[in-house]
Amino acid sequence: MDVQAYVHYLSGEENDVLKGLYRQTHLRVPYPEMMSGHGQGRLLAMFSHMIRPDRILEIGTFTGYSAICLAEGLLPRGKLYTIEQNEELTDIAAFFFEKAGLSGKIVQLTGDALVVISELNEKFDIVFIDAAKKRYLDYYHAVFSKVREGGYILIDNILWYGKTANTAVTDATTESLREFNDFVRNDDRVERAVVQNRDGIFILRKK
Ligand code: SAM
């Protein structure tokens, strides 16, 4: 068993809704590897249970796997807003949100994240950034004032298959992520930690 398979094994059984979503995403959607999956899903769910958020914002719904996991820890009155620009993904995510009993808790917003965020009038306890890697700095600046003091920003893929750590790798996506990581590394407004899981998650706490 490789390490990833062992992480999934140790994480216990994936529930039937998430199992179905994982399978349907692989059958029906291009680039299914963009989906969080079981190991990372359990990590996001656990963060959410620890924080007990009232408001969550996700940038990059895809087919909804991470949204369902993050919604697990919401307070009873809580809501998760999730933004996706690809309209072709709306129905599959909506179908599985309903199957998970989360239709009343998850608000799907369609459009470019920067436009949608500018129109949101909420303060968030958790923001999960998981959309276009070259635009992470733009998303970060756009959401920062909408995160409450003491709130968390979780950012996926910051290790980018180990490429951000290797300065010999200079493709545009890696350079953008490295620039973003350096900005956050030096941002006095946050406390930070890195989880070296599948592809790295930055965990930031707004002071
Ligand atoms: N969070 C999902 C999960 O873990 O299952 C995976 C998200 S996938 C890595 C990234 C998604 O972000 C894609 O579905 C893509 O269409 C969307 N996206 C990329 N740029 C975007 C933007 N500027 N605004 C909204 N969505 C965007």
Per-residue pLDDT tens over the stretch 101-118: 999 999 999 999 999 999
- Distance between CA atoms of residues 31 and 127, nearest Å: 23
The strand ranges marked E within the chain are: 55-59, 79-84, 106-110, 124-129, 147-156, 190-195, 201-206
- Distance between CA atoms of residues 68 and 197, nearest Å: 19
Phi, psi of 137 (to 5 degrees): -65, -40
Q: What is the pLDDT of residue 4?
A: 87
Q: What is the pLDDT of residue 192?
A: 98
* Least confidently predicted of 82-86, 112-116, 198-202: 198-202
Per-residue pLDDT tens over the stretch 15-70: 999 999 999 999 999 999 999 999 999 999 999 999 999 999 999 999 999 999 99
Handedness of CA 77, 83, 84, 87 (dihedral sign): positive
Here the CATH number for the domain that contains residue 73 is: 3.40.50.150
Closest to 70 (Cα-Cα) out of 52, 85, 93: 52
Q: What is the pLDDT of residue 41?
A: 97
- Distance between CA atoms of residues 123 and 94, nearest Å: 24
The token duo for 103 is 């239709």
The H or E element containing residue 77 is: none
Q: How many CA atoms lie within 13 A of 190 on its CB side?
A: 25
- Distance between CA atoms of residues 96 and 80, nearest Å: 15
Per-residue pLDDT tens over the stretch 142-192: 999 999 999 999 999 999 999 999 999 999 999 999 999 999 999 999 999
Substitution site in 21, 28, 59, 88 for ligand 1 pocket (most atoms within 8 Å of beta carbon): 59
In sequence order, the 6+-apart residues with CB closer than 8 A to the CB of 163 are: 169, 171, 174, 177
- Distance between CA atoms of residues 197 and 154, nearest Å: 13
Q: What is the pLDDT of residue 115?
A: 98
Q: Does the pLDDT at position 132 exceed 90? A: yes
Amino acid at 3: V
> How many domains does the chain divide into?
1
CA 207 / ligand 1 centre spacing (Å): 27
Q: What is the pLDDT of residue 198?
A: 80
Strand 147-156 and strand 79-84: the pairing is: unpaired
Residue ranges around ligand 1 (CB below 6 Å)? 34-36, 60, 62, 65-66, 83-86, 89, 112-113, 130-132, 135
Tokens 């129109």 sit on residue: 119
CA 133 / ligand 1 centre spacing (Å): 9
DSSP helix/strand/coil, 36: coil
- Distance between CA atoms of residues 29 and 63, nearest Å: 8
Q: What is the pLDDT of residue 13?
A: 95
Domain residues for 157?
A: 3-206
